[in-house]
Structure 1
Amino acid sequence: MTPELGTIEGFYGRPWSAEERAANIAFLAQHGYGFYLYAPKADTFLRRRWAEPHPTEMADDLARLAAQCRAAGVRFGVGLSPYELYLNFDASARAALAEKLAFLDGIGCVDLAILFDDMRGDIEGLADKQIEIVDWIAARSGATRLITCPSYYTDDPILDRVFGQRPPGYLEALGAGLDPAVEIFWTGPRVCSKELTAEHLARVAETLRRKPFIWDNYPVNDGQRMAPFLHLRAFTGRTGEIGAEIAAHGVNPASQAMLSRIPMLTLEMLYRDAAYDPDSAFHAAAEAIAGAPLARLIEEDLAAFQDVGLDALPEKEQAALRARYAAFDHPCAREIALWLDGHWRITDEIVQTQ
């Protein structure tokens, strides 16, 4: 069973350009990707400055993006992170939120995600406060699909260390209190899950009282620790049988828009092919995206890109890789060259300010 597939541009650091978004939406629509959620951490007008209106140029870009999605037959969505709104959901906050919702309706947002991640969560009555906000939004938004990301969207204890200990029974209360029509994001047993099993997802569905909407943090490579790597290998640790256990499968791609297409194509193959083999899938996807000669080089250098990483590559080897890919006039080769030059490096300061 192939679930609905989609792109969630939800990473830290440099967001994709308008041209990269449009090109990927059109291309991936041909390979089963039916929704696109705009939620880059760099758009502060959806996060810490959510109560402020988007500048005119950004607003116009988003309206164009929505139109491009419609033309490609792809659902356009936006991820709104009303930063710690649940601490003070007063009349002023409600007025600002109503204005933001009207703006999103106006640009053509049909999928609206309310994101409570990356915020303090050790608060009494957290689930009830978030349910109140989501219900309030549902009554006023024109979006035809509403999704929310819990403050604790995985079993991973790292969230408790960073954002405070999750309240007892938080997910159970959220699942019981939210309207059944509201979808709930889930990343799996970890923030970046190496494995998603049918058994795990069935258990989560019981807790949430609905099938989880997967936010898959592969091949994303944001953050200070992941930015020095290129995640290009095919999807593993997932099998086609999980399709029956989930509401949809959204992929948080890498910062490199063209290279992201390689693993993203393999996810469609995973669901479609009962005899899915990751190595064969990578080979086919890399050839489809980069062409056979360049794909062969990328395959030869996979270990350097995905296992060794930029920080551990000797300067001599970095120079050899630059020369190797400079011979190709192709977006994949240019993205590799930029990665080698540190174009997508991310500092703690960038993460903290976004």
Structure 2
Amino acid sequence: MNNAPISAGARRRRPVFLLIAGVALVAALVVSGWFVVAHDRPDGKGGDVAAVPSIFPVPQHARAEAGGPVPLNGHVYVVAPEGTDQASVDAVRDLIAGAGGTAEVVTTLSTPRQGASAIRVGTDSDAALKALRLDGDPEIRSALERPEGYAVATGTIEGIPTAVLAGRDNDGVFHGVQTLRQLLKDGALAAVRISDWPLTETRGVIEGFYGTPWSHQARLDVIEFAGRQKMNTYIYSPKDDPLLREKWRDLYSNQELGELRELIDAAAANHLRFSYALSPGIDVCYSRASDLDDAVAKLESLYSLGVRSFVIPLDDIATKVQCAEDLREFGSGQANLAKAQASFLNDINEKFISGKDGVLPLETVPTFYNGSRSTPYKRELGTALNPGIVVQWTGEEVVSHRITLDSAKTAGDSYGRPGSPRDIVLWDNYPVNDYSQDRLFLAPVIGRDADLYKTVRGIVTNPMIEPYLSLPAIFNYADLSWNGPAYHPDESMNAALSLLAGPDPEVQAAVRAFVDLNQDWQDDELTPSAPELRRDIDQFWQDYDAGRVPSGGLKARAVLLQRLPELLPRMAQPGFAQDATAWVAASAEYGHGVEDALVMLEATKRGDTASAAAARKSAEGALTTAAAKTQPTLERGVVTPVLGGSELKSFIEQALQRVPAP
């Protein structure tokens, strides 16, 4: 997608599985204090949730139960009838092992041993719920009637403490396991009753940026992370994969097919659908039979690997038909471009999609993919395109700071037919940074209406070129798309950072100091640049100008920034620090420069010109080093990492201006 803030010639849009073991994640949350009061639905139906751990995404209903916790640090039966989702069973076994217990998987359980406990898992849990007298609970019944819904309840069955995890389907069972991870504390599951389901049908990640594509390992790790956050979609659409765009007609080699198969299998194991996006628009001739055959052959090669979801993006291409055959067939102009594209997409839908078992509706990204108002292109596309084909849309802008329910509803009408709105999936261009590769976007996801689920079919986030630095925003989008009315940006981001940082308080402080430096997003007034740093800077100047001894907050922050290269690699997710190497080094240099500037100002006040001069020289050197070009990019060479709105640089420069040069 072409992004308005950059030149017309520039392009935009935006490893071992995830290295955080499940129980380590739980431990990080426990130690860091994130087991606090969970939120119930905004309707207020939730009872007493004071003892319910925080769960992300926030469940539709969660309440504490009167009984005791279910121990997992002894002998634990995993009661999983034949046909129970194997990935869920394996995850439960891992959870028990991490709690210090021994798992015994059985299909039925009638005479459990004394002192044991049980977790009953599966889609057929009527008997277990009846044993807990919950088979008629309206909230649980509601959850188990909805796709991907699940319920968790605890109590005593067959004389032993038992947790029941009931799923509407296998996806629901898997989502329930992710909730169990967060209920674990001190070797036991909290006594709770949870009924939950997603409000948005499609929830996931689209690797859709320009720039260096993610590594194979990074893709595997992001897929696992997204699955643990109860997302269900990964769209493979890296703009600089030549076999998706420039060489879209070419088939994959055996080695490439092997890597794709591993991604597809990983997605299935984590209950995500792998969606393949073929982008033929650069040189396709919409009316040429051979181009249609080439597109279908490419899709067939992915179908044979197990792909059951397909997208044909037609974004970031010429805004008119390009070949003589199309001009003769459809004519020129944007409305006729829509007619040509609709014909091509309809043919793919008829020739490939409609004849395949288990294939989801075809999706497309229109050439004009943003804005909600009607245009000749959108009207023609809406009229000519098969009504079952889904449109991906980015909001009013390419990078939209606000996305409202009304805007999404209008877009559905504009891309649809009169009285029959088009299904829309929101391709959300945050935190993608391909148009600004010297910056990182680590602010919480904001500005999206909580009730978008009422209009859009799905929400997918387009992440940064840096996969592991994108995990906090992916965590936010998982919360927003699962239960928008209960999504609170700051709470969600704090939980994400605790999860990724791990339990070490020093590491957590370092992560938050680094994230604070990277809040700025297109000068958005709701994401001010480096707010915590700005507070310390403002306080310092207030104290300094009033003749008071400075509070010390700025100096402490400067010292912490200097330690980032030491502390961030100790995170539970080390990929975060690896992705951030250039920005971390610049942060540390600025930390040195700020501390030198403080020494210079203090020495000047007491008349120590020699010390002030030495500190000035050191501060100036830090500015020079921090401004070095150290971050490689695919097409723009090596760039200087920018931190927020340059507050660190501005502070040092302001301090230098206040002290006359020797």
Question: Residue by residue, what CA displacement relative to the aligned partner does 1:70-123 show, whole Å, maximum 9, x if unpaired?
Answer: 222211111110033554532332332232122121122211100100101144
Matched, 1:215 2:455: no
- Aligned residue in 2 for 1:258: 468
Q: Tell me the secondary structure at the aligned position of residue 76 of structure 1.
A: strand
What does 1:193-342 correspond to in 2, within 5 Å? 193-209=400-416, 210-223=422-435, 226-271=436-481, 272=483, 274-292=485-503, 293=505, 294-307=507-520, 321=561, 323-327=563-567, 328-329=569-570, 330-339=574-583, 342=630
1:107 is aligned, of 298, 305, 310, to: 305
Does structure 1 conserve the Cα–Cα contact (< 8 Å) formed by 2:434 and 2:464? yes
Gaps spanning 5+ residues in structure 1: where? Answer: 158-166
Does structure 2 conserve the Cα–Cα contact (< 8 Å) formed by 1:322 and 1:337? no
Matched, 1:144 2:357: no
2:315 is aligned, of 117, 120, 126, to: 117
Q: Tell me the secondary structure at the aligned position of residue 351 of structure 2.
A: coil
- Aligned residue in 1 for 2:266: 68
Q: Tell me the secondary structure at the aligned position of residue 234 of structure 2.
A: strand
Change in 2 beyond 3 A, CA 1:233/1:295: farther
What's the CA shift for 1:235? 0.6
Change in 2 beyond 3 A, CA 1:218/1:259: same
- The count of aligned residue pairs is 334
TM-score by length of 1: 0.85
Change in 2 beyond 3 A, CA 1:97/1:41: same
Does structure 1 conserve the Cα–Cα contact (< 8 Å) formed by 2:441 and 2:521? no
Stretch of structure 1 that moved more, 147-156 or 330-339: 330-339
Change in 2 beyond 3 A, CA 1:221/1:296: same
- Aligned residue in 2 for 1:181: 388
Question: Residue by residue, what CA displacement relative to the aligned partner does 1:264-298 show, whole Å, maximum 9, x if unpaired?
Answer: 11123335263543222211111112225434323
What's the CA shift for 1:232? 1.2
What's the CA shift for 1:201? 0.8
What's the CA shift for 1:323? 4.7
Change in 2 beyond 3 A, CA 1:40/1:308: closer
Report the Cα distance in structure 2 between the residues aligned to 1:305 and 1:37, rounded to whole angstroms. Answer: 26
Q: Tell me the secondary structure at the aligned position of residue 315 of structure 2.
A: coil
Q: Tell me the secondary structure at the aligned position of residue 114 of structure 1.
A: strand
Does structure 1 conserve the Cα–Cα contact (< 8 Å) formed by 2:224 and 2:270? yes
Report the Cα distance in structure 2 between the residues aligned to 1:221 and 1:188, rounded to whole angstroms. Answer: 17
What's the CA shift for 1:56? 2.5
- The AA in structure 2 aligned to 1:185 is Q
**Structure with the larger RCO, 1 or 2 (CA within 8 Å, 6+ apart):** 1
- Aligned residue in 2 for 1:49: 247
Change in 2 beyond 3 A, CA 1:58/1:319: farther
Question: Residue by residue, what CA displacement relative to the aligned partner does 1:120-179 show, whole Å, maximum 9, x if unpaired?
Answer: 11442101110111111112324433100000000299xxxxxxxxx9511121122211
**CA RMSD after TM alignment:** 2.9
Q: Tell me the secondary structure at the aligned position of residue 264 of structure 1.
A: helix
Report the Cα distance in structure 2 between the residues aligned to 1:318 and 1:6, rounded to whole angstroms. Answer: 37
Does structure 1 conserve the Cα–Cα contact (< 8 Å) formed by 2:223 and 2:270? yes
- Aligned residue in 2 for 1:347: 635
Report the Cα distance in structure 1 between the residues aligned to 2:484 and 2:366, rounded to whole angstroms. Answer: 32
TM-score by length of 2: 0.47
- Aligned residue in 1 for 2:339: 128
Does structure 2 conserve the Cα–Cα contact (< 8 Å) formed by 1:156 and 1:191? no
Report the Cα distance in structure 2 between the residues aligned to 1:51 and 1:174, rounded to whole angstroms. Answer: 25
Gaps spanning 5+ residues in structure 2: where? Answer: 1-197, 322-331, 417-421, 523-529, 531-556, 586-629, 639-662
Report the Cα distance in structure 2 between the residues aligned to 1:189 and 1:128, rounded to whole angstroms. Answer: 23
Stretch of structure 1 that moved more, 31-40 or 297-306: 297-306
Does structure 1 conserve the Cα–Cα contact (< 8 Å) formed by 2:249 and 2:295? yes
Report the Cα distance in structure 2 between the residues aligned to 1:77 and 1:220, rounded to whole angstroms. Answer: 19
- Aligned residue in 2 for 1:38: 236
Change in 2 beyond 3 A, CA 1:129/1:243: same
Report the Cα distance in structure 1 between the residues aligned to 2:484 and 2:427, rounded to whole angstroms. Answer: 22
Stretch of structure 1 that moved more, 87-96 or 51-60: 87-96
Report the Cα distance in structure 2 between the residues aligned to 1:318 and 1:13, rounded to whole angstroms. Answer: 32
What's the CA shift for 1:242? 0.9
- The AA in structure 2 aligned to 1:218 is Y
Does structure 2 conserve the Cα–Cα contact (< 8 Å) formed by 1:12 and 1:42? yes
What's the CA shift for 1:192? 0.8
Does structure 1 conserve the Cα–Cα contact (< 8 Å) formed by 2:453 and 2:484? no
What's the CA shift for 1:32? 2.2
Report the Cα distance in structure 2 between the residues aligned to 1:97 and 1:43, rounded to whole angstroms. Answer: 16
Q: Tell me the secondary structure at the aligned position of residue 172 of structure 1.
A: helix
Change in 2 beyond 3 A, CA 1:204/1:326: same
Report the Cα distance in structure 2 between the residues aligned to 1:101 and 1:54, rounded to whole angstroms. Answer: 11
Stretch of structure 1 that moved more, 185-194 or 131-140: 131-140
- Aligned residue in 2 for 1:29: 227
* Higher relative helix content: 1
Report the Cα distance in structure 1 between the residues aligned to 2:441 and 2:388, rounded to whole angstroms. Answer: 34
Matched, 1:17 2:187: no
Change in 2 beyond 3 A, CA 1:19/1:129: same
Report the Cα distance in structure 1 between the residues aligned to 2:211 and 2:562, rounded to whole angstroms. Answer: 23
Does structure 1 conserve the Cα–Cα contact (< 8 Å) formed by 2:438 and 2:631? no
- The AA in structure 2 aligned to 1:12 is Y
